[in-house]
Structure 1
């Protein structure tokens, strides 16, 4: 599934109509979830029947396209299924009990409720919410895909405006690699990653660089009176600064992952539990800033595009073990040089990257999950499968 995203040009009345559609979608989801909580054992059929009751009872729900309310029910279904799967597998920690949505930011239509203009640069929403025709700005060429292949249309609200996403049932084309090398990657905080060839990729630290401006924008919010327009504008400026950092991380991870997969036929990396690592309150900000999860997600996507084999291996002892003789050389995090009695002296992360590659080749590791959410055999935190399953093709994320 490819996701082609466009910026929407809106009038003030359309902004209000979209916000109303998003609130209605959130209302349906929360009501259906409450119905499931109060009536344990109800199945999929009963959830959709309750959705029909809501459409009959509330006029504002009826005004939203029926397929859009069905999509809200599907969101509840996925949350329930995920919770049950976690319980069956006795997953440690939180089982992910379904939660109510407090600030939904999107509404999703299926194959009805919208119509594309013949130019494919405008889209009209046909339900009674009053959204009407939206002008689309973007580089994607939707002309190459038949209308029948567009299975979902989403309107997404972000800090810098509204976006329309067209979900197309198609497979992206493959590309040729530039070489067939093998490489091991050790991600870190000092460097974005160090590879088994001795190369260090710089850690851009986008949040750290923007932190001063973000804090200034945050302080400006509290100088404005509550409930006033100036406070709303200040909040918008603050949110846009965070959005920019988020996009910088995603684009950087995408670019680096593409280069790695294009230049190598075999890539080994660490199977890290990022969700567990960010519980360290001293390192949480730096770990989130380096975006290991996004990097792995894009590695697995471009592995399919370039025909690269990506393998995840357990990270245990990869930093302590000598890559030359196999002897365990204990060292703390502050020790950045690996020096073994066999005479092997390497930068700590390069030594770990070589061990990761050896480990993957000797044990096979775990084949990396792919960007379509099929055959995922390893998890990077509990949200990797969700992220992979909703990955957009080389475009900003959802």
Structure 2
């Protein structure tokens, strides 16, 4: 299952109709959620029956396609199930109680209410909201997929326009890897990640670089009079700058995760509690800017695509433990070099990455045909001796080898 996204060319009347469809979808979701709160113990059947009552009671709800209303009910159903699952599993902290939507930005259709043009470059929405035909712009092409495989169509509103997403039910096509080595990854703020081979991926810091322009755009908002078009335009310019940063983070995480999974048969990484880490008011902005969750999500996706095994390990003592002798060497965050009395001197993050790889191996065993030999770096095209995790402790030798980044093109999301 993957998603293809197209930019939609809309007229002003169509944008008004899309906004009305989004508001109606939000209305159905909030009403169904309120019905569940007021009538505890009801099941899925009662939620769908209440949705039918809403369509009979309100004409603007009836104008929206019935499958789009059902999709809103499904969103409530998933939120309720997730809440009870978190309670059952005793998830620490807040359990995610279902909340009302205040500013929805999408409406989702299932298998009816829309029709693709034979050229598959236009789509027509046939409900009574009046959206009509939309022209689609995009480089991804769905001509090779039959319409029967399109299970969902979603219209998404962003600050730079409207997008149409197609959820296609197909399996990812397996692609060959360029290497069969093993690697451990330690993510951080100084570097995006450091691997067990000694390679450091630079942290791009997209938000920090754009922060001056973002603050300038934000100040321009307050200089405009409330309720005027100039203030609304200034808000759009401000939101577009944040959208650009968000897209840069996502594309960077996607590219790096692809490189890692393509070059290695076994990848070990930290299982960090990012939600808890961002509570640190001094580091919250930097942690959010590095986008660790996106990187992990794409690692898990490309692991399936390249048949790579990825293992998440707890980060406890990975920075303090010596990767050579196993002794605990206490050091603060400001200490960037690991120095042990056994003679092991390593960059702090590299030492942690080696410990992460060793911990993952101790639970999963050896993976790959080159488990203890020379491995490739996470940077495609670079080769370095991999640190050893033998029973007999020894000081790992890390030799830096120059390399050039290769540009990768890919089609799958």
TM beyond 0.5: yes
- Give the 4+ runs in structure 1 shifted more than 2 A: none
Q: Which runs of 5+ in 1 are unaligned?
A: 368-392
Q: Which runs of 5+ in 2 are unaligned?
A: 368-410
SS state of the match for residue 201, structure 1? strand
- Alpha-carbon deviation of 1:225? 1.1
Greater gyration radius:
2
- What does residue 397 of structure 2 align with? none
- What does residue 31 of structure 1 align with? 31
SS state of the match for residue 322, structure 1? coil
- Alpha-carbon deviation of 1:160? 0.7
SS state of the match for residue 136, structure 1? strand
- What does residue 242 of structure 2 align with? 242
- What does residue 304 of structure 1 align with? 304
Superimposed CA distance per residue, residues 329-349 of structure 1 (whole angstroms, 9 cap, x where no aligned partner): 000000000000001000000
- Alpha-carbon deviation of 1:261? 0.5
Distance (whole Å) between structure 2 residues aligned to residue 280 and residue 148 of structure 1? 48
SS state of the match for residue 327, structure 1? coil
Distance (whole Å) between structure 1 residues aligned to residue 284 and residue 331 of structure 2? 22
- What does residue 356 of structure 2 align with? 356
CA contact (8 A) 2:2 2:412 kept: no
* 1:142-157 correspondence to structure 2 within 5 Å: 142-157=142-157
- What does residue 337 of structure 1 align with? 337
- What does residue 273 of structure 1 align with? 273
- What does residue 256 of structure 2 align with? 256
Distance (whole Å) between structure 2 residues aligned to residue 201 and residue 85 of structure 1? 37
Superimposed CA distance per residue, residues 134-170 of structure 1 (whole angstroms, 9 cap, x where no aligned partner): 0000011111000111110000001111000011111
1:290 paired with 2:295, answer: no
1:210 paired with 2:210, answer: yes
- What does residue 405 of structure 2 align with? none
User: TM-score of the superposition, structure 2-length normalised?
Assistant: 0.88
- What does residue 170 of structure 1 align with? 170
- Alpha-carbon deviation of 1:364? 2.8
- What does residue 386 of structure 2 align with? none
Superimposed CA distance per residue, residues 70-114 of structure 1 (whole angstroms, 9 cap, x where no aligned partner): 000000000110111111112111111100000000000000000
SS state of the match for residue 21, structure 1? helix
Distance (whole Å) between structure 1 residues aligned to residue 82 and residue 362 of structure 2? 34
- What does residue 90 of structure 1 align with? 90
- Alpha-carbon deviation of 1:362? 1.1
RMSD: 1.1
SS state of the match for residue 155, structure 2? strand
User: TM-score of the superposition, structure 1-length normalised?
Assistant: 0.92
- What does residue 320 of structure 1 align with? 320
- What does residue 57 of structure 1 align with? 57
1:127 paired with 2:122, answer: no
SS state of the match for residue 118, structure 2? coil
- What does residue 138 of structure 2 align with? 138
1:12 paired with 2:24, answer: no
- What does residue 184 of structure 1 align with? 184
SS state of the match for residue 227, structure 1? coil
SS state of the match for residue 144, structure 1? coil
- Shifted more, 256-265 versus 355-364: the winner is 355-364
